[in-house]
A and B are shown apart, each in its own frame.
Chain A
């Protein structure tokens, strides 16, 4: 059975309201960045102690989710699951859009964003950050080619190979993102090779959650049929990804708890620190346990609304996780003199406070909005979204068929 992809119809007030709201949020983000650069970071909540703030929470979340959003396409191309093939182009588009949103925030938060050209011409090849720049640029190129092979019929034969390259690339990319923190040997909350696979597991979960949300919203808003078979498969996959991410979180903390030198930092994160509540209630309960319960529930697990709620919770849990990881990790004081109590005018030995400012939040949300604008514009102009994904269409897809053929219209 052929899959017909169709542009999103823009002739509705609801469409323009949604597109307008996203554009407005994106513009507010840009304005916030301008204000931050004009006045300096002194107007933000970031300090010499908490050097990365809310913009980085959003940026890293979006970048991690970007590589995860590509998984739906990978399952189709690399693992040959025909059911996922109609879902693949949107998956590639989301990956590019989320990365663009995340990178925008990252760049706009720089002390000197106008020096982006310097970053493009000066590379310190020992820096994991510089490697990440290559990985981001390469990811855009690889996914663009992959999308081309999916959407251009003459190139369909190459989509499996392109998909394999993209899949490997995304694994390396998220390894790089996790290692930005994992390589920080002097900071006890980081300094772990486990952060790379943890970030990969998180990316699977966050990326799919965003994919599910976009899929559900798009199909509902455009009144296109979305069958329960596709949704059930995606929901089950989401549950597996949440569990996998949770597994890595448990192993990470369990390992630290076992080491005497890390027990203070674990107490800070898990028990009496200001970030403990965010960890347990945000990341673990709302972001993992509740969505798992919903998705495994015999009735709720089949309801599109409940699945959307579960996906939304995963996203919120993801923001909470990034906040705990990035802000909490910096808030925990560096231990220059183990076994000693240190005090200074530079806030040695104390848990560093952080209150995010409005411009920071606007910039972070602006990154999400930029990703949203890209998705809306791209799906309006190009055929990314299948006209229908009802059960009869899915049943007609042979598991062995090749790449999706486009309808001739």
Chain B
């Protein structure tokens, strides 16, 4: 490829990026990045992180979100009954009408999380910004939270781990689940599954601040009917589903 050609390509690339930036900037991204906390700042209760999954956009044969989660958090990706799965794709079929759909299921980051209620040591906790986490230092591995979670969102580490990510500490004998990629969110980035879903072209997952009426997630929840899984339990999950 000649030098001129490369220059032309770069120019086209920059142009496309600029157009995309102009298109996206007024929407969520700039605001959400601004809502991320500065390093060292305490987590703020003014923010409530959440996700909206558009089930119509989620393809049954796509599991990019699962793969991205496994990559980001260094999960093995194996699906034996003892393997950790922080996010999974569930295919559902209406028993009477036969309608089918597919959706990602993970920790729903409830406002009133049963896992936090039942944890004897307080290892399960909810951050001020709504992210539900497990403190791996005080989890004794009793697994009561796994029994209490209505979404089967938690996994127990059944064997020794290798090749962990320094940003995502895990440990044999403790319970773990989706952290909403808290290490990325705190830096103003999106969770890995959201990025991967967008990269795959489906753009089924929107991540953002539920408390900010201007955010895309809040605007969409305000405009369209959305569903909370097991809404009957009144846990106020941070993950919502559209077109379910």
Contact = CB atoms under 8 A, between A and B. Distances in A.
Interface of A: 37, 39-42, 46-49, 51-52, 110-113, 115-116, 118-119, 122-124, 126-130, 133, 180, 183-187, 330, 334, 336-337, 339-348, 352-353
B90 interface: yes
Interface stretch (B36-44, B113-121, B181-189, B191-199): B113-121
Interface string B151-168: 110111111100000000
B104 to A, nearest CB: 10
B220 to A, nearest CB: 21
B81 interface: yes
A128 B118 contact: yes
B147 A52 contact: yes
Contacts of B123: 122
B35 interface: no
B120 A112 contact: no
B233 A122 contact: no
Contacts, number: 167
Contacts of A185: 114, 150, 233
A287 B174 CA distance: 36
A19 B159 CA distance: 36
A344 B105 contact: yes
Interface stretch (B1-9, B23-31, B92-100, B209-217): B92-100
Given A40-B157, A186-B148, A339-B96, A345 B89 contact: yes
Contacts of B66: 345
Contact of A184 (B120, B148, B152, B159): B148
B88 interface: yes
A358 B243 CA distance: 47
Interface in B43-99: 66, 79, 81-85, 88-96
A122 to B, nearest CB: 4
Interface of B: 66, 79, 81-85, 88-96, 105, 114, 116-123, 138-144, 146-152, 154-160, 172-175, 229-230, 233
A113 B139 CA distance: 10
B159 A40 contact: yes
Contacts of A111: 139-143, 156-157, 172-175
B172 A40 contact: yes
B140 A118 contact: yes
A130 B120 contact: yes
Contacts of A334: 150-152
Contact of A343 (B91, B114, B117, B138): B91
Given A186-B149, A342-B90, 11 more contacts: A46-B158, A47-B81, A49-B81, A111-B142, A113-B141, A123-B121, A186-B230, A187-B147, A336-B90, A339-B95, A343-B92
B178 to A, nearest CB: 12
A51 B93 contact: no
Nearest to A48: B155
A189 B137 CA distance: 32
Nearest to B235: A186
Contact of A110 (B105, B118, B142): B142
5 contacts: A48-B156, A124-B121, A124-B122, A336-B152, A348-B88
Given A339-B96, A344-B90, A344-B105, A51 B147 contact: yes
A399 B5 CA distance: 108
B160 to A, nearest CB: 6
B194 to A, nearest CB: 20
A36 to B, nearest CB: 10
Contact of B140 (A37, A41, A110, A126): A110
A334 B123 CA distance: 24
Given A118-B140, A126-B117, A47 B105 contact: no
Given A122-B122, A345-B85, A129 B144 contact: yes
Contact of B141 (A47, A110, A129, A346): A110
A343 to B, nearest CB: 5
Contacts of B91: 342-344
Nearest to B78: A345
Nearest to B104: A344
Given A124-B119, A346-B88, A186 B141 contact: no
B120 A123 contact: yes
A128 B144 CA distance: 10
A353 B80 CA distance: 12
A186 B233 contact: yes
A368 to B, nearest CB: 21
B147 to A, nearest CB: 6
A122 B135 CA distance: 12
A337 B173 contact: no
A404 to B, nearest CB: 39
B85 A40 contact: no
Nearest to B135: A122
Contacts of B94: 339-340
Contact of A348 (B83, B90, B158, B233): B90
